[in-house]
Amino acid sequence: MLTLWNDWPSPWLGDPLREAGPFRDLRRQMDRMLEELDRHAPSAAERGGPRFTLEDKGEALEVRAELPGFRREELEVQLERSTLSVRGRREVSAPEGYVTHRRERRSIEIARAFTLPCRVDPEKASAKLENGVLTLTLPKLAAEQPRRIEVQVG
Amino acid sequence: MQIQTNGNGHKQSGRSARELDFAPAPVDVYENEQEILVVVDLPGVAAGGVDVSLDGSELTIEGRREGRSPARLRRTFTVPRSVDPDRVGATMDAGVLTVRLGKRDEVKPRRIAVESVD
């Protein structure tokens, strides 16, 4: 799993839109409990920002991150030997002339570095940002590719 | 993307069992004299995976993410009467949904020209 959709505290008094549905009261209670917990523990965003996943696809490593609202030009991806670094930011601010009633989305600044589990070919690496999800495909060097070993009959 | 509006206030029922499958996404709400803006982070959700519907005063936003980490989410809000169901629009950009809820003309402030009498 990439990211929990969940766990966003929603302080929403004075909101022109009120959350509806049978779970409203329950959610309100949960929100209060979560906010209470939040006072003692840093939030996910403060701890490390968006979640990254790294998957070994055999011939390549695949790194994915949920980065809604990020622009391509606001992201910098670097590969140096087996260190991958990703930097970027998105700003969330009220549009000019609008009053803010609810603010759950946050401004995010990421500066992450990962040590990859094997050597990859920087020439063949590719990055794609689609619908707010960054996907990096990092093909492994030939020496790191999985090899099939024939079992000899003795 | 689908936008449905239904002005007659009819409510669907029997939704609670499905509701458990959905989780909330972070939402911003802004307002000016002309409209209310609802902005939702929906990473990985394409424009075709979003349904926005206004049923009476109930605004429902649903997103479906396909692929490797499928997810569904739903947020439901009660919108004020000032919203005009004929002026609801939504756009999806870089995994961020923006829903614009235009207000009825009669609730917008009107500028009255001051005439000079001399």
Tell me, what's the pLDDT at B37? Answer: 96
Q: Which residues from A are below 8 Å from B14, CB to CB?
A: none
| Top-confidence residue, A17 or B46 | B46
| pLDDT, averaged across chain A | 79
Question: What pairing do the DSSP bridges indicate for beta strands B2-6 and B50-55?
Answer: parallel
Q: Which residues from B are below 8 Å from A131, CB to CB?
A: 42-46, 92, 94-95
Closest among B5, B71, B58, B8 to A21, alpha carbons compared: B58
Rounded CA separation A80/A63 (Å): 15
**Greatest CA span in chain A, whole angstroms?**
81
Q: A1, B38: Cβ pair inside 8 Å?
A: no
Give the 3-state secondary structure of residue B1. coil
For chain A, state the CA radius of gyration. Answer: 21
Placement of tokens 């049923």 in the chain: B55
A51 residue type, one letter: R
- What band does A112 get if pLDDT is binned at 50, 70 and 90? very high
Q: Please provide the size of chain B in residues.
A: 118
Placement of tokens 């990211």 in the chain: A3
Share of chain A above pLDDT 90, in %: 53
A37 residue type, one letter: L
How far is the alpha carbon of A129 from chain B, nearest alpha carbon, in Å?
A: 8
Tell me, what's the pLDDT at B22? Answer: 47
Which strands form B2-6's sheet, in the order they lie side by side?
A18-19, B71-78, B58-65, B50-55, B2-6
Tell me, what's the pLDDT at A39? Answer: 53
Rounded CA separation B12/B55 (Å): 9
- What band does A23 get if pLDDT is binned at 50, 70 and 90? low
- What band does B14 get if pLDDT is binned at 50, 70 and 90? very low
Rounded CA separation A97/A95 (Å): 6
Residue A93 has pLDDT above 70, yes or no: yes
Q: How far apart are the first and last CA of chain B?
A: 57
Q: Which residues from B are below 8 Å from A64, CB to CB?
A: 68
